[in-house]
Chains A and B, each alone.
Chain A
């Protein structure tokens, strides 16, 4: 092709050659430049247009019209242009080499040899030149936009194909679709951000993959709908689980939870859940009310104590014994522990016993049993004297009775002193207290031995 063109040009007049060589000087660097900057493009455009003006003066208007028609007929396809563009850097040096081989024998310089190659372009009308420049510029702009989109993570390969095919009309159509698709995709992305995606991470990843192709937003929308359904199903599942706490709703909730495995059942499940929701609320309020008016919490505590005690199946071992006044003032302590005593732990238990004694709800004559860590605190509240005993293992069934007897003994044997004692004054010294404490400890150990047997 290049050879044919060059041979044709050699027959042109010298005058034409001069004009062409002037143009060639302008065109060569332009051909070598891969992507001119917008400023450069502008300056080149202006210089080209001034030369085109000169050309129109040289050529008669009829000839220009003829050339224009010819140019329209022979307009190169976009594909060719692209091919030319992409091969520019690799083919240009090869062309130069071929030309120099041919021209050396004719005694021409390499510069002269390039001239005929550019000749056909010289024949184009200014209008055609302008259109061509504009098209290239537009194409470049599109290419840059596509690059930006590709960088943003969108799959632009289909658009690139469309652009390379050179059918700008079809490309522009796809481009507009792509552009619209990006707007919708951004909306979808914002929507995803607002969702609670815990438990549906895989589905979100799938959707994000689909979101890379803005030409298929319908598919993305379907995925989004599915994702929303799944999230909604998860929410309903949680709600159903909470409903299971109401006995009358349990079986229905279980069955609906099963139905939710297929997200397409959501609407049906939701419809059925309406009545259950109402029932749940009604039951919930009633339970709340019952809790307020019942003495249930105390019952729960009792059960807990029994369970805790049952856990410790070992026989009773007495660890410590405390004596208090009826107001909870500490009077004496006896221990069966060997080695170093964990004072902090002991004080905690002493305080617990004191709290029980000071509790208004526990009236004199009552015994209380509370687990404290791996030990149990037994307290008996008397009218004037109270005792607290820390034991390990399972308490003997008569342990409470033993404490009661012990308190009664202390109150009886030191009755004179206790009766005279005013709770506001200094705590009294009870002459029989130590003896009675020893007696309680001994009796408790005996009970433990009995359990062991």
Chain B
């Protein structure tokens, strides 16, 4: 794409080339608004709490971004979170409460998430079924499995699990370290050939195929990565909840899609990136905060929240279209 290269060389072109820019502006605006109505917003305690709240959505949104960039979508991520959540709890409970049990639970959880993502990737890439309906159907299956593993919310984790999660090390909580790791990971992936191939597949599948890119393998890998990230999110949720819940993940599927779109990534694929989705996840959590601290009557909370999200989405889409 010589044209794009020329544009990038022109001064100021980076503004047009940064899908996450509007999300950053929105994030700053919402953070100021939040600080205005919540006096202790900028205290370390409150910030650490917000990081803990946003981390699971952030992880899932980053996974969703890779899937969307490759031209697919995954509506089963919420169900994967639920399944991993109950699998990890059941295994840790079954093996006792020692560090070995916790380790086994973490590994089993990650393996479960990866397997679910790989199944999605296999069906979508190998058989080329429409991803919206396929991942909805696999989501129904994963949700059913979660209900079989643990029919009702319950089970309990050894305190070591959530104490370590909350305490962390070097004075920072574990969620803060994980956010740093996630950002580092996203930055590293951004420079790889995989990332460039993913964008190529998402923007023009036919052309990517004709250039000799392993289209199926790339789409498969993006789904597998999303499954793994959803599993990490589920394990983080356990660090706060301390117990299993087979319906835990439901809200995350659509939340992750909203975060991706807020972050400036095109749902059609091929344009955008996980940095924007990380900001998008933060925006969604800040909107929740603002609604909570603004003392809005409970009855009006959901309509106000949805209207703000819809307006933010509209603004994001509108701006990214003008820049493109």
Q: Do these two chains really belong together in a complex? A: no
* Residues of B bordering A, CB below 8 Å: none
Measuring CB to CB, which residues of chain A are less than 8 angstroms from any residue of chain B? none
